[in-house]
Amino acid sequence: MDNARIDKIIEKHHGEASSLIQVLLDIQSEHHWLPKAALKRVSEKLRVPLTQIQHIATFYKAFSLVPKGRHEVHVCVGTACHVRGASRILDTLQELTGIKPGETDLELKFSLETVNCLGCCALGPVLEIDGKTHGKMTTAETADVLKNYQ
Amino acid sequence: MSEIIFEIDGKEVKAKAGMTILEAARSVGIKIPTLCHHEALEPFGSCRLCTVEVDVRSWTSLVASCVYPVAQNIVVRTRSAKVDRIRKMILELYLAHAPDSFELQDMAQEYGADKNRFEKEASFCIHCGLCVRYCNEVKQKNAVGFVDRGSRKEICFIPEIAAQECWDCKECFPLCPTEALQAAFVLSQALYTPQK
Ligand code: SF4
Ligand code: FES
């Protein structure tokens, strides 16, 4: 991510230090992770010490300091989804992508993450890819859905 | 100038509005143990060793004296069975993280804390924040900060800043009650070779 783009995002938030989290969220959603150079730029521009930015970036799970895949796969393993077979879905995903929850594959295609409730238990087992919800999943459907992401 | 009159350990104490119980107590020579408090820094209230009992209109509560402002007619007890028990517990928990800290051991003796009560989990840092706040508030270099949260929280140097600032400063070293800070510094130093 280049500095010009980061500066744009900062401008959008009027360069206010109080918008730090919003700025970081914007960078995260565009770039999928927060490179150190980006944090440094934000630190200089908003005049917030890097130590504080580092604290916030490591505090919230929404931020990642390591590269993430182009597609973020969230599998719900909450109670309702668990009962409806979330572990089978998770197994299928692990097999197809070759990664475990919390990991990213070498081609930076997928990042896999488990979550504890996506708020739509009636659709369980639920899978979310790049913010799009896929409900009532079966192992076969999971494989089909994954094929749509490059 | 509003003067506030209240009681600490049965003694009448006069203080200025805005002072904390800890400041008022120290001004009349009453000792309250502290770990995270430092005169030059903003109160932080993280260690809870300065916990005291306060009666406000005959309602008793436990408060951290380093952040609790004095008020008219309150009654403060700096030692009581309950306060001592709390301090003992806090010390025992800290000692599980930093069993060899002299500062903790001295206090443990006073409160009868057993350093072997809890299983050791030697992370050394007890999150008092003295190093982080000193670097931020006094030196304004921000070379060291906290990362992560909960049980995984720890201090972390920013290597680029530390490489420039820390060599000639190191003023935070003696502040650390557990020497975790020095260990972290030496580790960062070992991991980081400045780019030429
Ligand atoms: S390293 Fe030492 S001074 Fe810094 S927060 Fe931990 S215990 Fe406190
Ligand atoms: S001295 Fe009051 S909480 Fe640490």
Do A30 and A92 sit in the same domain of this protein? no
Do A50 and A90 sit in the same domain of this protein? no
Considering its fold, how many domains does chain A have in total?
2
Please determine, for the modelled complex, whether the ipTM score is greater than 0.95: no
Q: Is residue A104 part of a domain?
A: yes
Do A143 and A76 sit in the same domain of this protein? yes
Q: Is residue A64 part of a domain?
A: no
Tell me the best of B34, B83, B107, B126 to mutate to test the pocket of ligand 2, counting ligand atoms within 8 Å of each CB and taking the most. Answer: B34
Nearest Cα to Cα of residue A51 among A20, A77, A81: A20
**Pocket of ligand 1 from Cβ distances under 6 Å:** B 125-132, 155, 175-178, 180-181
pLDDT in tens, chain B (196 residues): 589 999 999 999 999 999 999 999 999 999 999 999 999 999 999 999 999 999 999 899 999 999 999 999 999 999 999 999 999 999 999 999 999 899 999 999 999 999 999 999 888 899 999 999 999 999 999 999 999 998 899 999 999 999 899 989 999 999 999 988 887 888 887 777 655 4
Please, which residues 35-64 of chain A have a Cβ atom closer than 8 Å to chain B? 49-52, 54-55, 58-59
Do A137 and A89 sit in the same domain of this protein? yes
- Residue A49's pLDDT band, with cuts at 50, 70 and 90, is very high
Q: Does B190 touch chain A (CB under 8 A)?
A: no
A54:B142 CB<8 A: no
What is the whole-number distance in angstroms between the Cα of residue B9 and the centre of ligand 2? 19
- Residue A42's pLDDT band, with cuts at 50, 70 and 90, is very high
Given a cut of 80, whether residue A86 has pLDDT beyond it is: yes
> Cβ neighbours of residue A117 under 8 Å, at least 6 residues apart?
A76, A78, A79, A80, A81
What is the whole-number distance in angstroms between the Cα of residue B5 and the centre of ligand 2? 23
Q: Is residue A66 part of a domain?
A: no
Region B3-79: CATH code: 3.10.20.740
- Residue A143's pLDDT band, with cuts at 50, 70 and 90, is very high
Domain end call among A39, A59, A79:
A59
Query: What range defines the domain where residue A53 resides?
Result: 3-59
The model's pTM is 0.84
| 3-state SS record for chain A | CCHHHHHHHHHHCCCCHHHHHHHHHHHHHHHCCCCHHHHHHHHHHHCCCHHHHHHHHHHCCCCCCCCCCCEEEEEECCHHHHHCCHHHHHHHHHHHHCCCCCCECCCCCEEEEEECCCCCHHHCCCEEECCEEECCCCHHHHHHHHHCCC
Do A29 and A97 sit in the same domain of this protein? no
Do A79 and A128 sit in the same domain of this protein? yes
Do A48 and A85 sit in the same domain of this protein? no
Q: Is residue A140 part of a domain?
A: yes
Pairing of strands B75-77, B3-8: parallel
Do A75 and A136 sit in the same domain of this protein? yes
Taking CB atoms and an 8 Å cutoff, what residues of chain B touch A51?
A: 132, 135-136, 142-146, 156, 158
Please give the structure tokens belonging to residue A46: 């908003």
User: Which amino acid residue places its CA nearest to atom 1 of ligand 1?
Assistant: B181
Q: Is residue A127 part of a domain?
A: yes
Do A76 and A128 sit in the same domain of this protein? yes
pLDDT the model gives residue B1: 59
